[in-house]
Amino acid sequence: MARFGIWAPLVIVFLRLTSVVVPALPGTAYAILSGALFGFVQGIIVIAIADFLACTTNFFIARRYGRGVVQKLVGKRFMDRLDRWSQKYLEGNFFLMTGALMTSFFDYICYAAGLTRISGKRFISALGLSIAIVKPPVVAVGAGILQGEKLLIGASLLGILAIAAISAWTRHQESST
């Protein structure tokens, strides 16, 4: 990445965008890489921008082009899951949608949200909240591991525990509805 110079953040944004729009490609490594390359503060800015652009792209692809295009991107098997998720959990509960965006299936959830009647404003609010909660610990891992900052590693572990607690609460809410 060093050879990309000032273009390195854009390379990370492009790679992350690609990994979210085509959900089969892994993407968490880019958040860790962002922290490692740019440090915590700049790394979180780069990955937050990348995730925001990528997730809103998924939402608006689904909103604009509908089920046919989404099914080509995610496959038939995941399309059935998206239908169940969107009808059962996403439309009626902002916090469940936010929690779902914090899972490893967030890229699929963005497509599912785009296929519902959720307003773009409501989706963007949930997305912003999920990015603010989930991304700092992951970027901190990259910044801490490769830069030796123990404080960031400790903060990332606390963040991961918080994410686990929120996920458990979300699952509990989901099962009680």
User: Which amino acid is residue 142, in one-letter code?
Assistant: G
Token match 């996920």: residue?
Answer: 167
d(CA 78, CA 110): 13
Yes or no: say if 139 and 34 are a contact pair by the CB < 8 Å rule. Answer: yes
Which residues lie closer than 8 Å to 83 by C-beta, 6 or more apart? 112, 115
pTM here is 0.74
Taking only the tens place, the pLDDT of each residue in 100-115 is: 888 878 888 888 888 8
Task: Match 């296929």 to its residue by tokens.
Answer: 115
The answer to whether 4 and 46 are in contact (CB under 8 A) is no
Residue 73: its H or E element: helix 28-74
pLDDT tens-digit readout, 150-173: 555 555 555 665 666 676 666 666
Share of the chain above pLDDT 70, in %: 76
How wide is the angle at C-alpha 159 spanned by C-alphas 95 and 44, nearest 5°?
90
Residue 136 has pLDDT above 70, yes or no: yes
Amino acid occupying residue 173 = Q
Backbone torsions φ then ψ of 102, nearest 5 degrees? -90, -5
| Nearest of 161, 131, 146 to residue 16 by alpha carbon | 131
pLDDT exceeds 80 at position 45: yes
**Structure token pair of residue 14:** 């492009």
Report pLDDT for 121: 93
In terms of Cβ atoms closer than 10 Å to its own Cβ (0-12, 13-18, 19+), residue 121 is: exposed
Report the C-alpha gap between 26 and 107 in whole angstroms: 11
